Amino acid sequence: MKKYAAALLVLALSSTPRIASAFCGFYVGGADAKLFNNATQVVLMREGTRTVLSMQNNYEGPPANFAMVVPVPVVLQKENVKTLPKDIFGKVDNLAAPRLVEYWEQDPCYQPRYADSPMGGAMPMPAPPAAQARSESSLGVKIEAQFTVGEYDIVILSAKDSGGLDTWLRQQKYAIPAGAEPYLRPYVQSGSKFFVAKVDANKVSFEKGMAMLSPLRFHYDSESFQLPVRLGLMNAKGPQDLIVHVLARGQRYEVANYPNVTIPTNYDVTETAKAQFGTFYAALFDETVKRHPKAVVTEYSWDASTCDPCPGPALSPADFATLGADALAPAEPAPPPPPRVLPMP
C-alpha cells in the first residue's frame, strides 16, 4: 500500500514514501506554534488531474467584513466544497513543526534480546471513502453557481474584465480591499473562474470575542497544479507567511517558478539552543531566507502516516479523508505475487 508523504514549505513539498529505521533518540521539544503570527495555511492533495485544496483563514475582525476571492480553473458546484473541523490544521501543523531531538550513543557490543526486536507497525487502513447599479452583463460578470456551505455564502463567477469584476464585487457589498483590480487582472486574462465567499454572521461561532471561521476545502480537476497566491497580497499588512502542506502518494513536488531551498537540518546544537529552541529556529529560518531571498523554503518532508520521533500523533486515515483523500481515486492495490510452481518429485 502506498502511503501519503507530507511536506511543509513556506510559500511546500512532498516526498516519496520511505521506510525509516528505528530512531536512537527522543523528542525534546518544538518551536512555538505561534512562530508564524501572520500566516495563512493551505493543505494540497493531488492525484492525477484531481486537486484538493484546504485553507485555514487567519482573518481577525467582524465576520460581516470577511470576503475571500480565490481563482479556480473550473466552475465549482456545492458538492465540490465543504467546511472542515477547526482542529485538522493543528494536527498537520504539529506533525510538520520544527523539532529538537536528543541522541545517545549505543553500546557497540550490545546484543539485542528477542524482546528488544522492533515490532512491525500496523499498516494504515484505506481512507473512507441585490439591486445592481450596473447589470452583470454590462460589467462582463456572470454568476456560474451560487450556494451555501456552513457559514459561507459562495458564488462562482466568470469575468471578461477585471475592472468589471472589481465593480461588481463592491456593488454586491463584498468587503474587498482598495486597489484590487490589478491583482484580479492576470487571473481574468487567463480565463480563471472566481470562488467568492462571504460570511453569514448568524452562523458564526465566537471565542473570546473573535469570530472562529471554519476551514474551507474544495476540489476540482485540471491538468495544471497551481496555487494562486497573488490575491493574498491584497490583505497583507507587511510580510505575510504562506505555509503550504502538500500530501501526495509516491511523488515529490516543489515550486516551479521560485527558487527552492531546504532548511538546514540534523545540526548539533548547544544546551542554550535547547533551552530557547523557538528563538533558535526563528533565527535559522530568517538566516536561510536572508541567504536565499525570494526562495521557497522547504521545512519538512516525511511519510505522513508515521514519524520518528513524534511530536504528537501521526495523521490517521480519517485525517487523510478529511483533507481530501475521500475525493481522490483510491490507491491501486499491490500486484499479487507471481505463482510458485513446485518441481515434480
* Domain contains 149: no
Residue with grid cell 497551481, as numbered in its chain: 226
Integer Cα distance of 164 and 188 in angstroms: 10
Judged against a pLDDT cut of 50, whether residue 11 lies above it is answered with no
Residue 320 · residue 4 · CB < 8 Å:
yes
Q: Edge-to-edge, what's the strand order for the sheet holding 81-83?
A: 81-83, 216-221, 50-56, 39-47, 241-249, 4-10, 296-303, 260-262
pLDDT for res 326: 95
Secondary structure of residue 100 in the 3-state scheme: strand
Q: What is the mean pLDDT of residues 231-248?
A: 73
What secondary structure letter does DSSP report for 99? Answer: E
Residue 74 · residue 277 · CB < 8 Å:
no
Integer Cα distance of 88 and 93 in angstroms: 9
Average pLDDT value over all residues in the chain: 77
pLDDT for res 292: 94
Nearest Cα to Cα of residue 234 among 73, 71, 74, 93: 71
Integer Cα distance of 56 and 155 in angstroms: 19
* Domain contains 281: yes
Q: What is the tens place of the pLDDT at every residue in 169-188? A: 989 888 777 888 988 999 99
* Domain contains 239: yes
Residue 309: asked if its preceding bond is cis (omega within 30°), the reply is: yes
* Domain contains 20: yes
* Domain contains 125: no
pLDDT > 90: percent of the chain = 33
What secondary structure letter does DSSP report for 23? Answer: P
Q: What is the tens place of the pLDDT at every residue in 275-332? A: 888 889 999 999 999 999 989 999 988 888 777 777 778 889 999 999 999 999 775 5
Residue 274 · residue 100 · CB < 8 Å:
yes
pTM for the whole structure: 0.77
Integer Cα distance of 255 and 259 in angstroms: 7
pLDDT for res 95: 85
Integer Cα distance of 116 and 106 in angstroms: 14
Q: What is the mean pLDDT of residues 243-270?
A: 88
Domain extent, residue 279, equals: 4-60+73-103+209-327
Work out the end-to-end distance of the chain between its first and last CA atoms, rounded to an integer number of angstroms: 37
* Domain contains 172: no
* Domain contains 87: yes
Secondary structure of the chain as H, E, C letters: CCCEEEEEEECCCCCCCCCCCCCCEEEEEECCCCCCCCEEEEEEEEECCEEEEEEECCCCCCHHHCEEEEEECCCCCHHHEEECCCCHHHHHHHHHCCEEEEECCCCCCCCCCHHHCCCCCCCCCCCCCCCCCCCHHHHCEEEEEEEEECCEEEEEEEECCHHHHHHHHHHCCCCCCCCCHHHHHHHHHCCCEEEEEEECHHHCEEECCEEECCCEEEEEECCCCCCCCHHHHHHCCCCCEEEEEEEEECCCCCCCCCCEEECCCCCCCCHHHHHCHHHHHHHHHHHHHHHCCCCEEEEEEEECCCCCCCCCCCCCHHHHHHHCHHHCCCCCCCCCCCCCCCCCC
Q: How many CB atoms lie within 10 A of CB 344?
A: 4
Residue with grid cell 490507491, as numbered in its chain: 331
Secondary structure of residue 63 in the 3-state scheme: helix
pLDDT for res 233: 54
Cell matching residue 224: 495544471
Q: What is the tens place of the pLDDT at every residue in 42-90? A: 999 999 999 999 998 766 677 777 778 899 999 999 999 999 998 999 8
Nearest Cα to Cα of residue 90 among 23, 43, 143, 129: 43
Structurally, the chain folds into a number of domains equal to: 1
Secondary structure of residue 56 in the 3-state scheme: strand
* Domain contains 267: yes
